[in-house]
Amino acid sequence: MANNKSAKKRILVTAKKTERNRYYRTRIKNIVKAVHEAVEASDKAAATTAFTAANKSIHSLVSKGFLKKTTAARKVSRLHKMVNAIA
């Protein structure tokens, strides 16, 4: 257990950051899953709509500093390729 003031603060800050990071990770997974489901259903309109929302959300996480720019670009690129592959 923490004994001094700074160590106690680090415990609180770490707990907050862990909770925030868990929320963002789950959000990314759900956004990507929505695009995957639309693609597997071969629904071009739904896939395009889901991709647009995913693109916006992923890039907003870059501006918050949660994702690196290259990671976001890679995720968006892969999703875009999937959406474009629908005949």
pLDDT band at 87 (very low <50, low <70, confident <90, very high): low
pLDDT digits (tens, 9 = 90+) for 22-81: 999 999 999 999 999 999 999 999 999 999 999 999 999 999 999 999 999 999 999 999
pLDDT value, residue 76:
97
Look up residue 41 and give its DSSP letter: T
Residue 16 near residue 7, CB atoms below 8 Å: no
CA–CA distance, 87 with 61 (Å, rounded to integer): 31
For domain 5-84, the question of CATH label 3.40.50.300 is answered with: no
pLDDT band at 1 (very low <50, low <70, confident <90, very high): confident
